[in-house]
Amino acid sequence: MIDPKNLETWLHEKASTAHDALKADPARAVSANRVRYTLDELLAEAKAASQHPLPPEQREWVDAPAVGRELLPEDLQTAEAIAAFLADAEATADPAYIQHAREVVARARAMHCIK
């Protein structure tokens, strides 16, 4: 359920700002036809993009192996997942990483209403 106060804040901060910017510069508008792409259009765009290779530094980044600390609040959806994540962080004995893990967990608990 949406909190009316959050909705009002969003309308004031985001929607009205976008509306005012669009009124000031109508050329920024995107037609309804451009908002929705067909799968064929998306695949054609992806194929065209793949024809141009990435620069070496970007290719290196894309191909780099995971470093193991990529969990986001969206990934921690249960109390069990949170407990395992915190246990792994504590096992590293790295104070900075433990603090980071606690911050991620706090966001995950708030996001998923987990106590």
pLDDT tens-digit readout, 5-55: 788 888 888 888 888 888 888 887 877 767 777 788 888 888 887 777 778
Model pTM score? 0.41
**Alpha helices in the chain, H assignment, sequence order:** 4-10, 16-24, 32-35, 39-50, 56-63, 79-92, 95-112
User: How far apart (Å, rounded) are the C-alpha atoms in residues 105 and 37?
Assistant: 36
pLDDT of residue 97: 87
pLDDT of residue 113: 86
pLDDT of residue 10: 82
